[in-house]
Amino acid sequence: MADVSELWINRSDYRKTKAVSAQQKRLEDGQVRVAIDKFAITSNNVSYAVSGDAIGYWRFFPAGEGWGKVTVWGFGNVVESRSPDIAVGERLYGFFPMANETVLTVGSVKDDYFMDAAPHRADLAAVYNQYRRLAGEPDALRQMEDARSLYFPLFITSFVLYDYLTDNDYFGADQVVIGSVSSKTGFGLAQFIHEDKKAGKRVIGLTSPGNKAFVESLGCCDDILLYGEEEKIDPSVKTAYVDMSGNRDLTITLHNHLQENMVESCMVGATHWESTGRATGLPGAEPRFFFAPSQIAKRNKDWGPGVLYMKASEASARLAKDASKEIEIERLKGADAVAAIWRDFLDNKVAPSRGIMASF
């Protein structure tokens, strides 16, 4: 039997990685073996690691004691099947480990997707257990594989965040401050708010000097400030803060500056993962973690199953086409290359204009 190649991350020190090879496991009834063709690596994957215990990302593809497999979005082909519903040769899009292959347990099956039914994934968010079956999809969508891996999970989160804010009438805010606006989820949210002229909310993006020109080129912010310039934000205006950085000190600074006019403060990502930690006892709204599947579940009840996801996917496809003009795709191969770019993401060394696609 062929070897399985994977990259494992030390759960106590994310910079420590190891390439692991193992013999393939024999399939059980109802399982399929998927050869992972390619996957995207973004700062979002760092957020998956940082929140791996709290949200359960480490549990999707269990590893050895003290180690984890960082989850990624990508494409694969079914190369062996013991499921009567999924044939060898099917191409899938979904949640995978950093590896050359994985085994999925086929649960409920629809024409366009199936759900993984592995017992250890049963209580994890359904959106991550869904694997899209690509054979019946429109050609235009099938031709966007790189963009789909790189942008769709992030822009869908951006759209769900946008929906969350509009669903709550922006909590009374007149302006939205976005931390780490150069992140894909960050500028995606900025774009959706910017396009909503009816709401008329001012968008202020926070970024680093090296990323400011990139954010300016997108044209999605009314104002772009560097970290350390937070005092330039008008404290008399009611403000919603969306934190993609996970930087605790930045959250404290903004709350102390805006005081009771900080009417919403939600944490989404962790691009500044070494500065994370929930800040408490601050003036204004209490910071809380935003979990997109919770808003999706709410809208499934409000609008019917899948409606929000469909809207988010359509908006993401449109935004991805525009973003692709500003981002250059790079292709990496092998565990060593994946480990190296992973460390670069940890150290915030990957420019937002780079789109990383990897394979083993």
**In this predicted model, what pLDDT tens digit does every residue of 131-160 receive, in sequence order?**
999 998 888 888 899 999 999 989 999 999
Burial zone of 231 (CB within 10 Å; 0-12 exposed, 13-18 middle, 19+ buried): exposed
Residue 86: Cβ within 10 Å count: 21
- Per DSSP bridges, beta strands 239-243 and 175-179 are parallel
The secondary structure element, H or E, covering residue 177 is strand 175-179
Q: DSSP label at 24?
A: P
Q: Which residue type is seen at 162?
A: Y
Give me the pLDDT at residue 142, please: 84
Give me the pLDDT at residue 143, please: 87
C-alpha to C-alpha distance for 219 and 197, rounded to whole angstroms: 14
pLDDT along the chain (360 residues), means of 10: 89 96 95 99 90 90 95 98 98 98 98 96 92 90 90 92 97 97 93 95 96 94 97 98 88 97 87 56 91 89 90 89 86 97 94 94
Burial zone of 349 (CB within 10 Å; 0-12 exposed, 13-18 middle, 19+ buried): exposed
**Contact yes or no for 5/333 (Cβ under 8 A):** no
Q: What is the dihedral of CA 344, 349, 352, 354, to 10 degrees?
A: -60
Q: State the pTM of this model.
A: 0.85
Q: Dihedrals φ, ψ of 300, to 5°?
A: -60, -35
Q: Which two tokens stand for residue 331?
A: 């292709």
Q: Which two tokens stand for residue 268?
A: 């989404």
Place of tokens 């090296």: 210
Residue 125: Cβ within 10 Å count: 19
Secondary structure of residue 337 in the 3-state scheme:
helix
* Domain at 153-294, CATH from 1.10.287.370, 3.40.50.720, 3.30.420.40, 3.30.230.10: 3.40.50.720
**Within the chain, which residue ranges are assigned CATH 3.90.180.10?**
3-147+327-359
Q: What kind of architecture, by CATH, is found in domain 3-147+327-359?
A: Alpha-Beta Complex (3.90)
- Per DSSP bridges, beta strands 113-116 and 101-109 are antiparallel
Q: Which residue type is seen at 286?
A: E
**Within the chain, which residue ranges are assigned CATH 3.40.50.720?**
153-294
Task: Give the dihedral sign, CA 32/35/36/38.
Answer: negative
3-state DSSP helix/strand/coil percent for the chain, to nearest 5? 40, 30, 35
CA angle 323, 128, 134 (to 5 degrees): 65
C-alpha to C-alpha distance for 138 and 314, rounded to whole angstroms: 13
Q: What is the dihedral of CA 80, 86, 92, 95, to 10 degrees?
A: -80
Give me the pLDDT at residue 275, please: 47
